[in-house]
Amino acid sequence: MQRIQITGEPVLHTVAKEVPQITDSIRELVEDMYETMDKAPGVGLAAPQIGVGLRIFVFSWEDQGISYRGVAINPELAFSPYDPADCDPESDMEGCLSIPGERFPVARSQTATLIATDLEGQTYTIEATGWLARIFQHEYDHLNGMLYADRLEKPYKKQMKKAIKASGWGEPGFSWLPGQDYLEP
């Protein structure tokens, strides 16, 4: 298990690099990511969140009895256009393990197509809708140095800024270990 980096840590705000090759250390990293995501618990985790600037995320989500659990290496994501201002304060509520304890509504596209490589080096495609599409958009953003905080609209953007400031975050050095308390610099 790995410490989860909190907003302000530069790796979270930097575009991650392509994975050149699937090696044993990549397999170990992915194993760590699954473990950390499950323990947090979360429905997705991107490598930058544990301090590794590589284009990898894991996800774990169940929808109508179907389990979607996997790793996306060097993913590409296509999604239909949407209006960022069109968000529902209840159904669009999102959270992030790198801004622990906070939740704010953010608009997302209803559908997303993920094309990625798995640990065997095979390319796969998932056509996602609803929450799975949201998870993919959230995790894909992480690989581009973006947090959902960066996508918030009025009045939530300001509220989020305040919340981050109140926690003393927004600068390097904060992380937390699932199963323990936050805020161990």
Binding site for Zn ion (CB under 5 A): 96
Q: Measured from the CB of residue 134, what is the shortest distance to Zn ion in angstroms?
A: 11
In this chain, which residue has its C-beta nearest to Zn ion?
Answer: 96
Q: Which is nearer to Zn ion, 96 or 132 (CB)?
A: 96
Name the 3-class secondary structure at 48: helix
Q: Measured from the CB of residue 145, what is the shortest distance to Zn ion in angstroms?
A: 12
What tokens does 167 get?
A: 């926690």
Q: How distant is the alpha carbon of residue 157 from its chain centre?
A: 18
Q: Measured from the CB of residue 99, what is the shortest distance to Zn ion in angstroms?
A: 7
Q: Which is nearer to Zn ion, 150 or 153 (CB)?
A: 150
Beta carbons of 70 and 119 less than 8 angstroms apart = no
139 is catalytic: yes
Q: Point out the catalytic residue in the list 9, 94, 139, 184.
A: 139
Cis peptide before 89 (omega within 30 of 0): no
- DSSP result, 117-128: E-TTS-EEEEEE
What tokens does 66 get?
A: 């179907």
Q: Which is nearer to Zn ion, 117 or 142 (CB)?
A: 142
What are the catalytic residues? 139
